[in-house]
Structure 1
């Protein structure tokens, strides 16, 4: 799907590697650390429940054998005693405020617990994705709360972590308070950095990490902006290598190349002085990425059409640029970014209408 606000991908100056900070994402680890005590208790209780269940089965077998022999009552007393023991364990479980769901995801080995109800998690993530794609602030905050709750049951689960990053980005995109936006972007980056430490072959982790890094570009120094530009490019490339059929990734790469191609000479000099190698991209390269995004998209993508037109203007193909602007003008998606894009499209149409 198209990004909720692709303008956040502007102004990346990119040209050097920024290493992943070793402490990134630790607020999430600390947030769930206390849950591990409760999880261990649930695990111990599960083991106790299994052991008592084994006692019950053995005694049931003994009772069956005793039925053909005298002293049957003696066996019944033993079973009654075992039932009393099991009842006691159930009372302890209730007193500990733990229900069966606390035991559901833990095996009886000494290894870390594994998810045994992946279908339930998939259903939960499907509902969360619907909320994340609505654009409503209330729905986004609700989705973020759902994700945090799920992290209690599935700590350090990468499918939850990158969605937390996405939720923070979308919440930031709905607000105007700059301090709040910076805070949301920072939390989203931390979540995605932790996800990257746990898994490196998930395109969505790389994608949303790149988007969040790009979103903070207007809040950092020029040097950090240039570093973040390279980091953005690195992770978009990684995501694209893992999922080459995602049109939004091609659009993001097109935006990056478009901004690099438009750098002023002194901005290139600054990048070269700081990092030894100036950024390099052309409008033609940007156009190729936007055309690829257009071909892969299964929806009418107004902003992508506008960017194709802007590339056409930049390389002097004005007649074709006007044609793409008219196509963009014919798209009415009704989302929050429509007004801003419509304004830019109309300005460009008025400026180049003589080439129609």
Structure 2
């Protein structure tokens, strides 16, 4: 990891030079030369000279790309092994790198780090930090499903302490980013889950809250438990048992739809889920409480892990 950081530091001067060269190429309208297109007349002799400069730049670009891929590969290994603190410390060294794949990964790990934080104020601060990385990732690449997903997931943390009207408007924007993530990646099961969760939250709003909100501020988003269930099941079909919260929400949807047999099935799966994250722990505990309340506490194993 130290070696990767050193390589980035050593390339600072080269990076500045490279940016200056790119600026000059754009100003002279020769940026097309980077893609090895034929030079235009009457400036062909000038463009040919620029092409030689580009040939000198290519090895640097290839080297920097290789370094970036190594950073991403190491980050993904740490994420898979759930080494959140180590991953955060590793990626934060590259927080100024203008690369959307680095930035959305920073958003994800900062969000995960916040989940482990007990202090409410510190947790909110980390969530806002995470949002800043997601925002940067989206600015860098508006066609990244990951960037849209994390921007949507973290956007509501920016509404802390502001009016209800703005929160309602933000809720619509959150859904837009999840929808866009799925347009870009139709197999994105996390975005499927997120849309299902979004639908579940607004399906829970009673009619009188909707009426008050509509009269005073703006209409709340419309959603149903059936719609939420379809999205959650679709996510589960795409990747089975990927998240305890998904199983819990499916069980709760079935409960609201008066399908007790299916509700018990999924709540039982959530209650026996192997904990990996703080969210898993919270969802597992809630599933166990719901099963006890439904008279199926005997299905729960005694140990909690």
- TM-score, length basis structure 2: 0.72
* Pairwise CA distance, 1:122: 1.3
Q: Does the Cα contact within 8 Å between 1:140 and 1:170 map onto a contact in 2?
A: no
* Pairwise CA distance, 1:291: 0.7
Output the aligned Cα RMSD: 3.1
Describe the shift of the 1:226–1:44 C-alpha distance in structure 2 as closer, same or farther (beyond 3 A): closer
Other-structure match for 2:47 = none
Query: SS of the residue aligned with 1:321?
Result: helix
Other-structure match for 1:262 = 204
Question: What is the distance in 2 between the residues matched to 1:147 and 1:352?
Answer: 49
The structure showing larger relative contact order (alpha-carbon pairs under 8 Å, at least 6 residues apart) is: 1
Describe the shift of the 1:141–1:259 C-alpha distance in structure 2 as closer, same or farther (beyond 3 A): same
Larger Rg: 1
Question: What is the distance in 2 between the residues matched to 1:343 and 1:213?
Answer: 27
Task: Within 5 Å, give how 1:67-82 maps onto structure 2.
Answer: none
* Pairwise CA distance, 1:126: 1.1
Other-structure match for 1:26 = none
Other-structure match for 1:199 = 141
1:314 aligns with 2:256: yes
- The structure 1 residue matched to 2:271, chosen from 312, 329, 334, is 329
1:140 aligns with 2:82: no
| Unpaired segments ≥5 residues, structure 2 | 1-10, 22-51, 300-305
Question: What is the distance in 2 between the residues matched to 1:41 and 1:282?
Answer: 56
Other-structure match for 1:124 = 71
* Pairwise CA distance, 1:189: 1.9
Task: Within 5 Å, give how 1:91-240 maps onto structure 2.
Answer: 108=53, 115-117=61-63, 118-148=65-95, 151=96, 155-216=97-158, 219-240=161-182
Question: What is the distance in 1 between the residues matched to 2:19 and 2:287?
Answer: 60
* Pairwise CA distance, 1:169: 1.4
Describe the shift of the 1:161–1:115 C-alpha distance in structure 2 as closer, same or farther (beyond 3 A): farther
Question: What is the distance in 1 between the residues matched to 2:165 and 2:152?
Answer: 17
- The structure 2 residue matched to 1:286, chosen from 225, 228, 232, is 228
Query: SS of the residue aligned with 1:313?
Result: helix
Describe the shift of the 1:42–1:263 C-alpha distance in structure 2 as closer, same or farther (beyond 3 A): closer
Q: Does the Cα contact within 8 Å between 2:271 and 2:285 map onto a contact in 1?
A: no
Question: What is the distance in 2 between the residues matched to 1:181 and 1:287?
Answer: 30
Describe the shift of the 1:336–1:194 C-alpha distance in structure 2 as closer, same or farther (beyond 3 A): closer
For 1:131-174, what per-residue CA distance to the aligned partner results, in whole angstroms no more than 9, with x for missing partners? 244444531332332332xx4xxx42222222222232122222
Other-structure match for 2:295 = 353
1:40 aligns with 2:16: yes
